[in-house]
């Protein structure tokens, strides 16, 4: 990334006048009102990654993945010794690449979780959308119940904690099933 | 960071301008040590985390979206107002008057909301490796409120810079490029440097 900031509109580099102001100021080049809040991280140099040191003394702890390299830290997930090259520092913990990948795929490391399917929304949509063509509810109501029960414990959204959508979907599905059951009982009793 | 501790900073809104119906909606949330950008597309949510220690800059650029929406909304509003005036002037036309009043109200509300929300803007957040559009921050007033909430947290993680310090460092960073020999000069596609 460049060490300079450009105007989002005219792409001219900005050197002064619009930084850390309390309100919007004009871009010196195109005049468009701008406000740019710059923080110290902007001027921070990115430090180069560490290189792994070779094992110097016989019997010295070595990396699980690179036996010729000196171990510097154990993995917080599996306990294997890691060299500086394999050490993935995450927050305050150190992981090996395999544990990091496993943590991401299994959703054990919350901060690596970057996508979720909202089964509660699926259940609610299955319960509500077929109201447009009511006959579909004979199929979708059991499907709604299945989705709601099957994924009751699945992770919901990162910011959505409640199961209210699941509960609503179940209530609506139960009412729909109840309606259909009543309908079939009435038809059956009418014919007999 | 416990997920339950997220606080909403913005409501869900469409990330692009002038889209009325879209499958994608974004919202911004405040975590203990980061901002969380949630993009909901269909039944899937995608999360982007911006840690306070990594945020380099936040850019707010005023846009003309409010004026454009005013233009778009003014046409049906004018037509409905004209209808209302006609129905008011013609006697015994109660139905027309009621219908016109409802239509005027329906067109006036979005027009008023568009103006009450203040000037429109586009907001970008920059880190060392990305520049992300914060699509849910679309009004200057709202964006400045959010900025007031997150600024102390970023300052606590990084420290602060005065406008003079930023300008001095920008000049310092720009000086090698301004004093570059022709062979070291940036390519023609690079943005011009303002003195």
Higher pLDDT, B28 or B176: B28
Mean pLDDT of A167-190: 93
Q: How many CB atoms lie within 10 A of CB A21?
A: 13
Q: How many CB atoms lie within 10 A of CB A57?
A: 7
Query: Rounded to a whole number, what is the distance in Å from the CA of B13 to chain A's nearest CA?
Result: 16
Are residues B15 and B48 part of one domain? yes
Alpha carbons A13 and A35: distance in angstroms, whole number: 14
Alpha carbons A102 and A120: distance in angstroms, whole number: 25
Query: Rounded to a whole number, what is the distance in Å from the CA of A163 to chain B's nearest CA?
Result: 13
**pLDDT digits 0-9 by tens, B138-156:** 999 999 999 999 999 999 9
* CATH code of domain A48-114: 3.30.40
**pLDDT digits 0-9 by tens, A146-166:** 999 999 988 888 887 788 999
Out of A1-5, A51-55, B42-46, B83-87, pick the least confident: A1-5
What pLDDT is stored for residue B16 in this prediction?
Answer: 60
Six-digit token pair at B155?
Answer: 């300052």
What is the tally of helices (H) and strands (E) in chain B? 4, 7
> How deeply is A69 buried, as exposed, middle or buried, from its count of CB atoms within 10 A (0-12, 13-18, 19+)?
buried
Residues of A in contact with B170 (CB under 8 A): 4-5, 14-16, 19
Are residues B53 and B9 part of one domain? yes
**Boundaries of domain holding B73:** 65-116
Six-digit token pair at B120?
Answer: 């429109």
Give the residue from chain B lying closest to A35, CA to CA.
Answer: B60
**Which run of H or E residues covers position A120?**
helix A119-128
Cβ contact, residue pair B167, A24, below 8 Å: no
Alpha carbons B123 and B145: distance in angstroms, whole number: 13
Are residues B9 and B89 part of one domain? no
Query: Rounded to a whole number, what is the distance in Å from the CA of B101 to chain A's nearest CA?
Result: 30
**Which run of H or E residues covers position A14?**
strand A13-14
- Crossing angle between the packed helical segments B65-89 and B94-116, to the nearest 10 degrees: 160
pLDDT band at B37 (very low <50, low <70, confident <90, very high): very high
**pLDDT digits 0-9 by tens, B93-103:** 788 888 888 99
Q: How many CB atoms lie within 10 A of CB A182?
A: 10
What pLDDT is stored for residue A102 in this prediction?
Answer: 84
Sheet (strand A33-38) strand order: A25-26, A33-38, B57-62, B121-126, B131-133
Percentage with pLDDT > 70 across chain A = 98
Cβ contact, residue pair B55, A41, below 8 Å: yes
Which residues are registered as beta bridge partners of B139?
A: B120
pLDDT band at B67 (very low <50, low <70, confident <90, very high): very high
Are residues B152 and B81 part of one domain? no
Are residues B19 and B98 part of one domain? no
Q: Do the domain assignments include residue B77? A: yes
Are residues B71 and B112 part of one domain? yes
State phi, psi for B37 to the nearest 5 degrees. -100, 115
Alpha carbons A128 and B125: distance in angstroms, whole number: 38
Which residues are registered as beta bridge partners of B7?
A: B30
**pLDDT digits 0-9 by tens, A62-108:** 899 888 888 889 998 889 999 988 888 877 788 898 888 888 777 67
Are residues B131 and B59 part of one domain? yes
Are residues B126 and B38 part of one domain? yes
Q: Do the domain assignments include residue B59? A: yes
Residues of A in contact with B122 (CB under 8 A): 8
Q: Which of B160, B162, B191 sits opposite A6 (nearest CB)?
A: B191
Six-digit token pair at A21?
Answer: 């102001």
Q: How many CB atoms lie within 10 A of CB B116?
A: 9
Model confidence at B176: pLDDT above 60: yes
Q: Which of B47, B58, B62 sits opposite A33 (nearest CB)?
A: B62
pTM of the model: 0.78
Higher pLDDT, A92 or B166: B166
Mean pLDDT of B5-18: 80
Give the end-to-end CA distance of chain B in Å, rounded to a whole number.
Answer: 44
Model confidence at B185: pLDDT above 50: no
Query: Rounded to a whole number, what is the distance in Å from the CA of A189 to chain B's nearest CA?
Result: 42
How many domains are contained in chain B? 2
Distances, alpha carbon B45 to alpha carbons A66, A114, A121, B170, in Å? 38, 8, 11, 38
CATH number for the domain including B42? Answer: 2.30.29
Which residues are registered as beta bridge partners of A90?
A: A93
**pLDDT digits 0-9 by tens, B109-123:** 999 999 999 999 999
Cβ contact, residue pair B174, A119, below 8 Å: no
- Domains of chain A, residue spans: 1-46, 48-114, 119-191
Give the residue from chain B lying closest to A39, CA to CA.
Answer: B56
> Is the CB of B147 inside 8 Å of chain A's CB atoms?
yes
Give the residue from chain A lying closest to B30, CA to CA.
Answer: A159
Reference B16, options B118, B126, B135, B143; nearest CA is B135
What pLDDT is stored for residue B188 in this prediction?
Answer: 47
Count of A-B CB contacts under 8 Å? 155
> Is the CB of B178 inside 8 Å of chain A's CB atoms?
no
Give the end-to-end CA distance of chain A in Å, rounded to a whole number.
Answer: 80
Cβ contact, residue pair A42, B124, below 8 Å: no
Q: Do the domain assignments include residue B177? A: no
Distances, alpha carbon A31 to alpha carbons A5, A7, A177, B19, B66, in Å? 16, 10, 63, 27, 18
Alpha carbons A144 and A151: distance in angstroms, whole number: 11
Which residues are registered as beta bridge partners of B30?
A: B7, B35
What pLDDT is stored for residue A150 in this prediction?
Answer: 93
A-facing residues of B in 51-80 (CB < 8 A) are 53-62
Mean pLDDT of A4-16: 85
Give the residue from chain B lying closest to A33, CA to CA.
Answer: B62
What pLDDT is stored for residue B155 in this prediction?
Answer: 94
Cβ contact, residue pair B56, A4, below 8 Å: no
Residues of B in contact with A36 (CB under 8 A): 57-60
User: In Å, how far from its chain's centre is CA A28?
Assistant: 39
């Amino acid at each position: 990334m460049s060490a300079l900031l450009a105007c989002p509109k005219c792409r001219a580099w900005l050197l002064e006048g619009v930084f850390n102001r309390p309100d919007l100021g004009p871009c010196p080049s195109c005049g468009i009102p701008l406000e740019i809040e710059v923080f110290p991280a902007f001027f921070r140099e990115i430090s180069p990654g560490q290189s792994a040191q070779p094992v110097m003394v016989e019997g010295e702890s070595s990396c699980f993945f690179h036996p010729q390299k000196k171990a510097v830290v154990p993995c917080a997930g599996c306990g294997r010794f890691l060299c500086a090259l394999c050490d993935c520092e995450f927050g305050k913990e150190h992981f090996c690449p395999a544990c990091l990948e496993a943590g991401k795929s299994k959703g054990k490391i919350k901060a690596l979780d970057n996508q979720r399917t909202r089964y509660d929304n699926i259940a609610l949509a299955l319960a509500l959308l077929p109201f447009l063509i009511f006959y579909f509810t004979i199929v979708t109501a059991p499907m709604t119940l299945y989705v709601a029960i099957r994924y009751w414990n699945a992770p919901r959204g990162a910011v959505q904690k409640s199961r209210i959508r699941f509960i609503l979907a179940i209530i609506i599905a139960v009412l729909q099933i109840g309606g259909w059951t009543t309908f079939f009982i009435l038809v059956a009793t009418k014919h007999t | 960071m416990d997920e339950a501790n997220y606080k909403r900073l913005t409501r869900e809104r469409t990330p692009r301008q002038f889209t009325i119906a879209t499958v994608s909606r974004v919202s911004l949330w405040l975590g203990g040590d980061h901002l969380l950008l949630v993009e909901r597309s269909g039944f899937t949510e995608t999360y982007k985390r911006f840690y306070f220690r990594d945020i380099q800059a936040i850019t707010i650029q005023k846009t003309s979206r409010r004026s454009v929406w005013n233009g778009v909304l003014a046409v049906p509003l004018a037509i409905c107002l004209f209808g209302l005036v006609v129905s008011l002037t013609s006697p015994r036309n109660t139905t027309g008057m009621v219908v016109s009043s409802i239509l005027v109200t329906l067109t006036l509300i979005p027009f008023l909301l568009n103006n009450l929300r203040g000037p429109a803007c586009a907001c970008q957040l920059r880190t060392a490796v990305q520049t992300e559009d914060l699509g849910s921050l679309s009004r200057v007033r709202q964006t400045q409120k959010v900025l007031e909430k997150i600024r102390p947290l970023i300052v606590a993680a990084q420290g602060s810079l005065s406008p003079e310090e930023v300008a001095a460092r920008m000049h310092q960073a720009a000086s090698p490029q301004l004093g570059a020999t022709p062979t070291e000069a940036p390519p023609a596609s690079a943005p011009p440097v303002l003195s």
